[in-house]
Amino acid sequence: MTQYPVADDSRAAACLGPYGPAVEAALADVATQQVLPRIWRLDHTVWSPDPREIANRLGWLRCVSPKAWLRSVSPKAWLRSVEAMRPRVPAMEELTRTVCAAGYTHALLLGMGGSSLSPELFARTFSAEARPHLDLAVLDSTDPGAVLAQTRRLDPAHTLFIVSTKSGGTVETSSLFKFFYNWVAAALGVSGTGEHFIAITDPGSGLAQLAEHYRFRATFLNDPNIGGRYSALSCFGLVPASLVGVDLPRLLGRAADMMAACGADIAAPENPAAWLGTILGEVAKAGRDKVTFVCSPELASFGDWVEQLIAESTGKQGRGLVPVVGEPLGPPTVYGSDRLFVQLCLEGASNTVANIQLDALRASDHPVLRLPWRDVYDVGGQFFLWELATAVCGQRLGINPFDQPNVEAAKALARRMMAEYTTKGALPPDVPMLICEGISVSGGVAAGSLEGALRDFLLQADLGDPATGAGRSYVALQAYVQPTAATDAALLGLRVRLRDRLGLATTVGYGPRFLHSTGQLHKGDAGHGLFIQLTADDAQDAPIPEAAGSTASSISFGVLKAAQSLGDRQALLDAGRRVIRFHLGKDVLRGLQRLAESLSRLSEE
């Protein structure tokens, strides 16, 4: 395997097989074009002659000071983003100490996509040990069961709510804030309710104004030139990280080390971001566009974070890398020639089984990368490495990695359907083509059984070029149901059956969470996806207040979720994608089990 320096003498390894010469030639081209120095100069022409949605999206690299969100920083021409955050750490740590001293024990972050994924990672990955901390959870769902589950779990008197959104107008976050503001006020009284909330947002956003109106405990204003999926090392990631007890100076130190290792003066072949981004781009152009992450259990949440970064940054203009996260490793026989495997592992941890399986994949000519971490604090460096590598990958693919041109389509359709609900009292009807055993099936195939519907839909899969894997399909399970451990397990079983039967990459996303992660890829890539939408009856519902402090409501979380699922399906159809919908009725687990049984019966045919 070829080894490359990453930072602090740790080493990454790549076994690229026949793709090695193309990657080496591409690295030489990256050097000739001065890609890394130009990126560090914030040169938008690396990706496009048009600066729109590029020039104002590079604050994760460097930022100008002083600004409203950097009042404590002395004036300089430019600061690397990590250095700009260091003076803000004391305020974050003081908030953590203050709320812990005030008796708060739990925190609930209300946010979507880039506002929620890095906080979730910090909460699931780090142990606070002796540092002051809260027990933090993330709510990024409009499923009423998921919302109400938090009211049964939390004590409002001891819970801090983090309202986190860059724009301040995200419908899911806004709805969740209004619901939980009313919940706290009903339990504790309106006076002092605002003390249970903090905001993380951009200067001048609607949330910044709302936080002032409702007298939030604190508001953290972020650099507006940082896009959501590139915001892990900004206030959006660091404030929640502090609340769960992460040592922020240590985390930022690891990020600074990686920034130095990926600097403009580091030659492309020795530059970790140039190396990683070039590999991603070149093997994707050769047909290996399914980036399959193999993570140590301790690092599993990093896969969810990097999934959004890659999918939303590269899935556009008929191109894109499909990140495959959480799919268990199988034998070489279940994989097509469209995979790139990336192993993220803690050094010293037991990775024996994964290493044996990856050795078998390497022996079968699958390209494999290995990125070792010394400990979980290396996530600071990995955040930056993957952000810069994704920017380099965008250059190799000829796309702008900072925009999301197809995201608005599903949102607009969902808004239209909610408007129809408010005027007519019902969402647009969905007429199924088949009802069988309590499961309703809607889609572009006609069949008399669940097995037949699945068979006919899956027969539409593209198997791609047998030599290169180019054009090969993937299967996306889109679950608009309540996330639970039991549902996780059932979806995992279903995706493994799909992969083993079809030899195709599989992904799983809960709706509407995935709309802010992989939704752009689904509509913007080359169109080889097969989309299986899963919906169900809600056991209970919860109203969304018209405004915080008001009891008036014209729509519920159940209606919002249903409108989002219908809007996303229509957006996929409008983009020419293949979609089938299984409405599982009242028993989600039984419905998923029945679909898995149908797949097993197809395998026996």
SS3 state at 199: strand
Q: How many CB atoms lie within 10 A of CB 259?
A: 25
Q: Report d(CA 283, CA 13) in Å as an integer.
A: 16
Condensed to tens digits (0 to 9), the pLDDT of residues 275-319 reads: 999 999 999 999 999 999 999 999 999 999 999 999 999 999 999
- Identify whether 428 is preceded by a cis peptide bond (ω within 30 of 0): no
Shared domain check, 278 and 382? yes
Long-range contacts of 245-250 (CB under 8 A, 24+ apart): 245/96, 245/126, 245/127, 245/128, 245/129, 245/131, 245/132, 245/133, 246/122, 246/126, 246/128, 247/131, 247/377, 248/89, 248/92, 248/93, 249/86, 249/89, 250/377, 250/380
584 within 8 A of 592, measured Cβ to Cβ? yes
Are 411 and 503 in the same domain? yes
pLDDT at residue 10, rounded to an integer? 45
The domain boundary residue, chosen from 341, 374, 397: 397
Same domain, 555 and 422: yes
SS3 103: coil
232 and 109 within one domain: yes
Q: Is residue 122 part of a domain?
A: yes
Residue 327 lies in a domain: yes
Residues 235 and 275 in one domain: no
Residue 496 included in any domain: yes
Rounded-to-10 torsion of CA 22, 24, 30, 33: -90
Domain harbouring 589, CATH code:
3.40.50
- Tell me, yes or no, whether 454 and 597 share the same domain: yes
Out of 397, 417, 449, a domain closes at: 397
User: Do residues 98 and 196 both lie within one domain?
Assistant: yes
Predicted local distance difference test score (pLDDT) of residue 538: 97
Judge whether 305 lies within some domain.
Answer: yes
Show the low-confidence residues of the chain (pLDDT under 70).
Answer: 1-11, 64-78, 603-605
Same domain as 446, residue 362: no
Whole-number pLDDT of residue 1: 53
Number of domains in the chain: 3
Q: Is residue 589 part of a domain?
A: yes
Task: Let me know if residue 142 belongs to a domain.
Answer: yes
Angle ∠(305,309,313) on CA atoms, nearest 5? 165
Residue 66 has a pLDDT of 46
313-338 tens-digit pLDDT:
999 999 999 999 999 999 999 999 99
pLDDT in tens, 98-146: 999 999 999 999 999 999 999 999 999 998 777 899 999 999 999 999 9
Could you tell me if 534 and 412 lie in one domain? yes
**For the domain that residue 222 is a member of, what is the CATH number?**
3.40.50.10490
Task: Determine the pLDDT at residue 236.
Answer: 98
Query: Does residue 302 belong to any structural domain of this protein?
Result: yes
Q: Can you give the residue range of the structural domain that contains 280?
A: 2-57+254-397
pTM flag (> 0.85) = yes
What distances in angstroms separate CA 322 from CA 67, 303, 338, 425, 428, one per listed residue?
A: 37, 12, 10, 38, 32
- 160 shares a domain with 106: yes
- In this prediction, residue 266 carries a pLDDT of 95
pLDDT value at position 6? 45
63 Rama sector, left if φ>0, alpha if ψ -120 to 50, beta otherwise: beta
Domain end among 226, 246, 266: 246
Residue 402 maps to a domain = no
Do residues 13 and 25 make contact, with C-beta atoms less than 8 angstroms apart?
Answer: no
Residue labelled with tokens 């702008």: 400
- What's the pLDDT at 409? 85
Q: Is the domain of 471 the same as that of 392?
A: no
Q: Does 13 share its domain with 85?
A: no
